[in-house]
Amino acid sequence: MAFQIPKEILPQDVARQLNEGKALHVLDVREPAEWAEGHVEGAKHIPLSQLVERHHELDPNQEVIIMCRSGNRSGLACELLHEKGYKVVNMTGGLNDWTSKLVRG
């Protein structure tokens, strides 16, 4: 049976909540070059390829919204972190569907 992500959110909903000033815990699992092209302000960056070694940098008691370019890598990250006891939310559609401002560099 395929893994079912317990919770999902749309990019528009994440952007709206951030614009309203809600404190969200956001993790971007894209590669460094993708991150440099533009990322969500305040997001933590741990590439998916480093997540197994670096997951301890996240708070397992805080819900974390995981994003990537399209929603596929974030889905894998959700599966990995969920198995380790983290509270995860997959941002479906990824930054391909993001319409709000991004930070460059």
User: Residue 78 catalytic?
Assistant: no
Q: What is the structure's pLDDT at 22?
A: 96
Domain contains 27: yes
Q: Where are the beta strands (DSSP E) in the chain?
A: 8-9, 25-28, 44-45, 64-67, 88-91
Cα 6 to Cα 35: distance, rounded to the nearest angstrom: 26
Whether 2 has a pLDDT exceeding 60, the answer reads: no
What average pLDDT score do residues 57-81 get?
A: 96
Q: Which of 18, 64, 68, 88 is catalytic?
A: 68
Residues 6+ apart with CB under 8 A from 50: none
Whether 50 has a pLDDT exceeding 50, the answer reads: yes
Tokens 């815990």 belong to which residue?
Answer: 25
Domain contains 104: no
Domain contains 93: yes
Q: What is the structure's pLDDT at 105?
A: 80
Whether 58 has a pLDDT exceeding 90, the answer reads: yes
Per-residue pLDDT band for 6 (boundaries 50, 70, 90) equals confident
Give the pLDDT confidence of 90-103 residue by residue, as tens digits.
999 999 999 999 99
Domain contains 105: no
Residues 6+ apart with CB under 8 A from 25: 44, 58, 59, 62, 63, 64, 65
Assess contact for 48 and 60: CB atoms under 8 A: no
Looking at residue 21, which CATH number applies to its domain? 3.40.250.10
Domain that holds residue 79: 8-97
Domain contains 2: no
The verdict on pTM exceeding 0.85 is yes
What average pLDDT score do residues 76-87 get?
A: 95
